[in-house]
Amino acid sequence: MAYRIGIVGVTGAVGQELLALMAKRNFPVEELRPLASARSAGSKISYGGKEWTVQEAKPEAFEGLDCVIFSAGGSVSLALAPEAVKRGVIVIDNSSAFRMDPKVPLVVPEINADALDNHHGIIANPNCSTAIALMGLFPLHKAFGLKRFFASTYQAVSGTGAEAMRELDTQVRAWVKGEPSPAKVYPHTIAFNLIPHVDSFLEDGYTKEEMKMLNEGRKIMNLPSLKVTTTCVRVPVFRAHSIAISAEFEKPVDVAVARQAIAAFPGAEVCDDTAKKIYPMPLDYAGKEKCGVGRIRKDTLFDNGLSLWVSGDQLWKGAALNAIQIAEALHARGRLARKN
């Protein structure tokens, strides 16, 4: 069965990746309805050997669709996702708008695809850093029982969007020429710098991005008592996030067993041979479906602890790929059928 699919934010960075991945994975599309702001309406999108006209994202644009993927920010999702649901459309939302709503499943298909059986029209995609971190942590949780973890993220500018990627490129070129290039997207220059600030600060000193790792990790893995502390850092990398993790488990850990668990997990691969200087790096995991896990070793702080390093494509597993995998899982369950 082929489906009538809408993409809100189709002209953005994640929207473009959605198109590429749907084609790459041969997702069954009968009709593509590209949706964006009024400014982009009327432009053309090529997909499946056809040209499709971009329409303005507004309530009536969802009529007749089976599924719509939102990648245009939380305010757009809050305003329009319920309108799509009213019209019988399943919504897969890439923003943070509905992630912590108890009525909305927050899904990473390799971990909790069963949650899709209880949706009420909206399904949330997790934050990019959360999804990538869990590709390393969840198989270890299944093997040893996760109690808590510390994480430091190294987040590529792709997490902010196409404008941030252009800013990094511009600043690097200006630096080479000895010319100034003021920061516009970020509060400080990102080229050749690290900014320990992703998303807005909360009263307790953490950022919203840092709290997502805790709250979303608990929900996805169904671990309400999980303890997490995170520091999120923006780094001068174009694409693919990396995360350093130290985790404590209920059971005694074994590095060989840990490697086997990760190797058997569909969302990850072991990339870990320090004798040959092999470990996951952003350049190697940009444009890859699986996340790489390496530097796996016993942690020197925890009695039952492991330290590891995970790299994964923020635009893929952290956003577009996970959304398509949700649609594929719904299709496999017979839950993506059109509403007539």
What residues are labeled active site? 128, 241
User: Residue 46's beta-bridge partner residues?
Assistant: 51
List of long-range contacts for 263-268, beta carbons under 8 Å, 24+ apart: 264/139, 265/110, 265/135, 265/138, 265/139, 266/110, 267/108, 267/110, 267/135, 267/138, 267/291, 267/317, 268/135, 268/136, 268/139, 268/292, 268/293, 268/310
Q: Tell me how crowded residue 153 is: count the other CB atoms within 10 A of its CB.
A: 28
Residue 148 near residue 248, CB atoms below 8 Å: yes
Phi/psi of residue 262, each to 5°? Answer: -70, -40
